[in-house]
Structure formats: C-alpha cells, structure tokens
Structure 1
Amino acid sequence: MGSLKAHEVARFLVRPDITEGIFLAYGPDSGLVRETAQRLIKQLSGDDPESASVVTLDGSEVDADPSILAVEARTMSLFGGKRIVRVRGASKSIVMTLTELRDDAGGAAIVLEAGNLTPKDALRALVEAAKLGRALPCYPDSDETLQLLIRESFNQQGIRVDADVVTTLREILGNDREITRRELEKLSLYAAKSKVLTREDVLLLCADNGMLVIDAILDATGGGHAERLELALNRALSSGVDPQRLLAMATMHFASLRRWRTEVDTGKSPRMVLDSSRPKPHFSRASGLEQQLRLWSDSALATASERILQATGESRRRPALADPILRRALLAICIMAASH
C-alpha cells in the first residue's frame, strides 16, 4: 500500500523508498502541500539536480488535455537526468490517464498536488493502491511540529534565540506552512549578522500576523470592548489563525486572570500583582490587564472559564462550526465584562 501517515511524511522526504511512479501530496494546508512537493522533487532530482528535467503543469491544463500528462511523463530527458512531472491542482479528472501510468511510469516521477481528499476520492484511492504510488497527507502543524520547525530553522542558520522566542512565534503563527516558512526566512535574514533573535525582534517583525491580534482579542474580551473584539477576530480568522488555538489562548488568559485576582483579593494592587508575575506580561498590555482585574470577580472569572471550556469541547465535536462557536463564546464573555 502506498498510503503514509502524516507523521511519516517527513522521514519519507529524506529517504523515499521509491524514486519513480506517482506521488500525491494532498491536504488542507496548501502551503505544506507545495513545500512537500518541492522537497520531494529536490530529493528525486538526485546528486545532479541541474540534469533533472522538471516539467510543471497546471491542473486545468491537464483537465483540458489529459494526454499531455502521459506525453510529458514518457518524454526522455534531454540531458539524460531524472524526468519529473509536477501537476498543481490535480483532481480526479486525471485518474484515467494515471491508470495507464500506474504500473509503468517509464522511470519518471509524477508529483501531484491536491487539496483535502477523502479516503474514497478516486485520485487518492488510485495512488494508494499503486505499487509505485505514495500518498503523502499534509495536515496543519501541531504545536510540537511547529516548534520543532522553528528551532531547526534557526539552528541551521546558527542563530541563537531567547528562551521565549519559540513560544512567542507559536502564538503568532497560524497553521499555514507557507506563511510560517516566509516568516522564519524573514527573521533569519534579519538576524543574519547579529546571530541573535529576541522576543522584541519577533514582535516588531511579525506581530501583524497574529500575536498582537491575539492579544487584542483576549484584552477586548476581558475588557468588554465588543467592537474591538469583532475587528480583531475578523483579522485573526482571515489570516488563518486556528479557532481552537484562540480558545486555548483564551483559556490560559482567563486562568491567569483568576490566579492574579486571587492575589488582588488578599489586598495587593493589580499593578503589584502583574509586576511580580512570572513570566511578566508585556508592558504594552499592563494597563489593559489592570482594568480587567478590576472588572472581574473570582466567581465571574470561573463562569467565563467554564464558558470557554464548553466552547472548546463543542468546537472539537463540530470542527466545521469552530468559527461561530468561538465568536459566540467570546462575545458572551465580552458582554459579561461590559456589564460589570
């Protein structure tokens, strides 16, 4: 069988067990699909990539003339190198042509890029069943894989990062691999001479992609600012920030507020509590967090935390409705804050 698990793809890209046939990179993360195809093509090109013949076709071209795929796959490389045919936006319309090439690709590698395919999809089923076929699922990064990617990227460039850089970047970045790579390349270029990267550098260069937006969502929710909340949510979700990650961040935020509120209830001032907190909140949020500590009682924070917990469970059971579930929960909590 030519089906790989998502966690097996990275190892396969380093050492593919076949070098010809049909390779299908598919999944909801289009950036990761493209990166997977590019890495595979680089690996298949061998020690002399310049001699490889790589032809790129658009899915619409192949749909209009399916025979073009077979012609390109069976055309001999001018310089005798590896023949690789890449098809972007592949769909099940090319299944008939691929059926002819499934058992004899003539030494060529056909690398297909597709969206999220179900197990019953004809294209995926054909590749998984082929002896010379490998289906490579590309799903959004988890916390673990994203943090590993961040560390490896900076280690390869010899860049030393402060302890909170990785966690800050994880909070900023969404789950689109292409955007992640672009941001990491930007940061590596910025730190190319100094070989040092701080949290302040990350916020300066990447905040527009998420961190400040996430902070804005949390502070608008806790501070009772409905209009600000709507704007920040629209910005974050349109940038590909995972709704479940926002719910997780909200859980952490209200857990922190509740912990700090307990100290305030012993007689300490909100500013004193925040100044002694470790890790200390970023100075830009200090006044907003002080306001939230004055607005919320412990019992109200417990109610808000329970509401977020319920929304988190519901979003996991019904992932297609994660966006509206997130919006409804945070707006309800925002209204609670505004009524205090």
Structure 2
Amino acid sequence: MTALKAHEVARFLSRPDLTEGIFLAYGPDTGLVRETAQTLVRYFSGEKGQGTEVVTFEGSELDADPSRLAIEARTPSLFGDKRIIRVRGAGKSLVMTLTEIRDDPQGAIVILEAGNLTPKDALRALVDAAKFGRSLPCYADSDETIAILIRDTFSKNGIRAGNDAISTLREVLGNDREITRRELEKLVLYAAQSKVLTEEDVITLCADNAALVIDQIADAAGTGHAQKLEDAINRAIGNAVDPQRLLATALIHFNMLRRLRAEVDTGRSVRDVLDNARPKPHFSRRAAIEQQVRLWSDAALANACERLQVVTGESRRKSGLAETLFRRTMLALCMVAADR
C-alpha cells in the first residue's frame, strides 16, 4: 500500500517502482491527469514502443459492461509481453472488475484517469490499498512547480530566457498543466532558431493583449501621462475593445486605488500595502500603481470613482457616444493626476 503525495508524483514517474498493476491518475487538473497518464504509457511502452500493445477505453464505454476491462487485461498481447489498458474518465463502476486484477495483474498495466477523488472514494480506496496499485494525485500547479517546468522546458530545448521573461510568463499562465504545455510548446517553436526569448516575446505570444492595453490606459490616466493615454486608447479602440468595457475596467481600477489608499491612510507604508494586496498587482505594474497611490488622495479618488459611475450610466443610455465620453473622462482624470 503506497499513497503518494502530490509532490512525490514527478519522482515516481521518472522511475515507477512497479512493472505491472493499476495506476490511478486523479485530481482537479485534467490537463495534468492526462499528462501523467501519457507519461506512464510512454514509460511502460519503452523508448520505441516495441512489444507493447496499448488499448484505450472511455469510462462511459465500460460503465455498461465493466468486465471488458478484465477480459482485455487477461488477454495475451499479440505483439509481445506488455499489455497496457488505459481508461479515460474511470469511475466506480470499475471497482469490482479491478478487484479481480489488483492482487494478480499477470503482467497487465492498467492506467486510469479520473477526476478529483476523496480518500473514501471506492476507486481511489481500492488502488490505495492494492499491493500492485499506485494512486497519483494531480493538483493545480503552484508558482514553484510552474517555474520549474518553464525552466526545465527551456533548458531541454537550449533556449535562453531572462528572469523577466520567465516571471512574465508565470504571471500570464494559469494553473492548468495542459494549457501551460501548449503555451510552452508555442514559445519553444518560436525560439527554435534564435534560441532566445525576451519578455516582449512572451507578452506578444502569450498575454491577453486587450487586457494589457486596458491596464496601460488606467495607468497612463492615473499617473498623468496624456500622450501615453491617447496612444493606449487608440490601440484599444483599434482592437475593437468596447468603450463600455473600458469604462467598467477604469472604475474597477480607481476603486482598487481607493482601497489601497485607505490602507495607507491608516499609517501603513505603500510598499507594505502592495506586498499584502490581494490580488497582488502584476510586478510590471507595481511601480505605476505605487506612484498612483502616492499621487491620489482618498477624496480625489472618491471623486474619480463617482465621475466614472456617472459616465458609465450615461454611456449606456447613449451608446453611440460611449467612446467620446470615455476619452473625455479619462483625459480629465489624467489632468487631475498631472496637476498633483
């Protein structure tokens, strides 16, 4: 009986301690569950996959007749001594059939993929307790595991990426392993010739460009940079970003500044407030947000929020004037910041 912890899975996958039996990859990160199962298939198939037969089922196929799994597991391979049965979306209907296999696999390798299972779940409990069974939890990546994955991927492909590029990539990635892999594959392909990745490359290829330009609008207005504001608004409108979305985001931004300012007004330092902010501002915006918190008083931020609320309502009544209203309001707020 071996119940692996999530942090032990990677080490186990590099050298499994069983050559047959039942392997259960489960957890909320479906991308990582799939990747774990694929890694096991590759490992047991060997480098060239010779002498190995892989049979794949969907869990729904076996629900009506779970005995098909046992039949496949007991059927000698047509191509050699290894037989791998992979089941996607495995569920409780397989428990009785797997009970027949767990203590005497007879060379069969059964790889199961499942969702998030509690310790009391019948399928997980069976595999946890089996002599020839290993349960492999697959939970969402942490900052540390994604950073390691990014660096390892670039290292294996001979790609040099600066700390700023890696930090930005970590910020724009989520915690789903499958999405992370796709983004990394895209970057590796892009840098196949140059073997170099910059922060700008990461932003161009992976970031939500609409979200980035919206942030630039808010920061330009909040710091009093009129030319940057105009350029950012033109880019947003050119990318067909709805002016009402821009207004809503600006209101969220100034409300966020007001919350931060309120904490500073209690006597805390701006840096301490930003260090403990939730959600924490992206590191690339930190200096701009710190400057804005220092520039704006609570009263001025209250006025800005009230003005944005009024204009948001007006833009909904006069949708044809939404862009004009947005430009006028943001320029007015920019001028307030420039005068402070």
TM-score class, shorter-chain normalisation, is: 0.5 to 0.7
Tell me the distance in 2 between the aligned counterparts of 1:124 and 1:213.
Answer: 46
Map of 2:82 onto structure 1:
82
Distance change in 2, residues 1:216/1:43 (3 Å)? farther
CA RMSD of aligned residues (A): 3.9
Map of 1:115 onto structure 2:
115
Q: TM-score w.r.t. structure 2 length?
A: 0.67
1:168-206, CA deviations, whole angstroms, 9 ceiling, x for partnerless residues? Answer: 111111100000000000000000000000000000000
Conserved? CA contact 2:214–2:249, under 8 Å? no
Tell me the distance in 1 between the aligned counterparts of 2:145 and 2:126.
Answer: 29
Tell me the distance in 1 between the aligned counterparts of 2:141 and 2:295.
Answer: 37
Tell me the distance in 2 between the aligned counterparts of 1:198 and 1:81.
Answer: 48
Map of 1:308 onto structure 2:
none
1:205 corresponds to 2:218 = no
Map of 1:294 onto structure 2:
295
Conserved? CA contact 1:216–1:229, under 8 Å? no
Map of 2:319 onto structure 1:
none
1:163 corresponds to 2:163 = yes
Map of 1:275 onto structure 2:
none
Matches within 5 A, 1:39-188: 39-188=39-188
Counterpart secondary structure, 1:109: strand
Distance change in 2, residues 1:296/1:200 (3 Å)? farther
Q: Give, as a single letter, the amino acid of the residue that structure 2 aligns with 1:62.
A: L
1:258 corresponds to 2:283 = no
Distance change in 2, residues 1:258/1:195 (3 Å)? same
Counterpart secondary structure, 1:79: coil
Q: Give, as a single letter, the amino acid of the residue that structure 2 aligns with 1:181.
A: R
Q: Give, as a single letter, the amino acid of the residue that structure 2 aligns with 1:100.
A: E
Q: Give, as a single letter, the amino acid of the residue that structure 2 aligns with 1:23.
A: F
Counterpart secondary structure, 2:208: helix
Q: Give, as a single letter, the amino acid of the residue that structure 2 aligns with 1:39.
A: T
Q: Give, as a single letter, the amino acid of the residue that structure 2 aligns with 1:176.
A: D
Q: Give, as a single letter, the amino acid of the residue that structure 1 aligns with 2:187.
A: L
Counterpart secondary structure, 1:49: coil
Matches within 5 A, 1:260-339: 281=285, 293-296=294-297
Tell me the distance in 2 between the aligned counterparts of 1:103 and 1:209.
Answer: 54
Map of 2:248 onto structure 1:
227
Structure 1 or 2, whichever has the larger Rg, is 2
Q: Give, as a single letter, the amino acid of the residue that structure 1 aligns with 2:73.
A: A
1:117-142, CA deviations, whole angstroms, 9 ceiling, x for partnerless residues? Answer: 00000000000000000000001111
Residue 217 of structure 1: how far off its partner (Å): 12
Conserved? CA contact 2:25–2:137, under 8 Å? yes
Map of 2:21 onto structure 1:
21
**Unmatched runs of 5 consecutive residues or more in structure 2:** 224-245, 274-282, 302-332
Residue 19 of structure 1: how far off its partner (Å): 1.4
Tell me the distance in 2 between the aligned counterparts of 1:32 and 1:150.
Answer: 15
Residue 213 of structure 1: how far off its partner (Å): 9.1
Q: TM-score w.r.t. structure 1 length?
A: 0.67
Conserved? CA contact 1:172–1:211, under 8 Å? no
Conserved? CA contact 2:270–2:293, under 8 Å? no
What is the percent sequence identity of the aligned residues? Answer: 63
**Unmatched runs of 5 consecutive residues or more in structure 1:** 233-246, 262-278, 301-336
Counterpart secondary structure, 2:104: coil
Tell me the distance in 1 between the aligned counterparts of 2:112 and 2:217.
Answer: 39
Conserved? CA contact 1:150–1:166, under 8 Å? yes
Q: Give, as a single letter, the amino acid of the residue that structure 2 aligns with 1:185.
A: E
Tell me the distance in 2 between the aligned counterparts of 1:46 and 1:218.
Answer: 54
Tell me the distance in 1 between the aligned counterparts of 2:9 and 2:204.
Answer: 34
